[in-house]
Amino acid sequence: MKVNVPIGEAFRWGWRAYARNLFFFTGLLLLAVVPLFLLGGWAGRFPEGSVEKSLVEFAAGIWRVAVAMAVILSCLAIHDREAVAPSEFGRIGSRYIAYFFGTLVYSLLVGIGLIFFIVPGVYVGVACQFAPYLIIDRKLGPIEALKESARLTKGSRWGLLFLGLSMVALNILGSLLFGLGLLISVPVTFCAHVWVYRRFVPAV
């Protein structure tokens, strides 16, 4: 299916969504970063390769996945209902395993594709980019979500590629300001991406 991807409109909506929910997004990202900072400091106290260090890094990985899910759920709620209810985050537990394995398979496919001449990795990255959303939003299994994303994005992949490059560029700019700009660029790009996702998969 071919869907137009208006990048400028997506980022304008992303900015408005961020501005209306400034304090929420700032709090959410600080809640994400502070535990990771503490866990990173704690892991640094243990020798490389030790069981203790591995356990702390494993805990940090679990937290990163939960944070990514929380951001996606928040952006979907803001798009669909203009507000985030605490009950939204209850879906993290029920979809965590599927999301974890879905993003793991997605990352492996992209990584392997990048190793083999780069282009296959970019192709998979663009074609299957909506899989994490579909796992949370439509409760699809990991493989089913990857296949559905590939079907949905067929005919729109050039537009989605340029959207992805724009998101990366904005986050690079955000990282230049001692990383503080990421507090703005990350939620703006997530919101923009969700806005585009909803053009392919309308809210129920």
Residue 2 belongs to a domain: no
Residue 120's domain spans which residues? 7-200
Residue 112 belongs to a domain: yes
Contact between 72 and 197 under an 8 Å Cβ cutoff? The reply is no
Residue 168 belongs to a domain: yes
Residue 72 belongs to a domain: yes
Residue 41 belongs to a domain: yes
Distances, alpha carbon 106 to alpha carbons 41, 96, 163, 201, in Å = 29, 15, 18, 19
Count: domains in the chain = 1
Put simply, whether the predicted model's pTM sits higher than 0.75 gets the answer yes
Residue 43 belongs to a domain: yes
Residue 83 belongs to a domain: yes
One digit per residue, the tens of pLDDT, for the chain of length 204 reads: 688 899 999 999 999 999 999 999 999 988 888 888 888 888 888 888 788 888 888 999 999 999 999 999 999 999 999 888 888 888 898 999 999 999 999 999 999 988 887 888 899 999 999 999 999 999 999 999 999 999 999 999 999 999 999 999 999 998 887 778 888 999 999 999 999 999 999 987
Residue 1 belongs to a domain: no
What is the distance of C-alpha 9 from the center of its chain? 19
Distance CA 56, CA 64 (A): 12
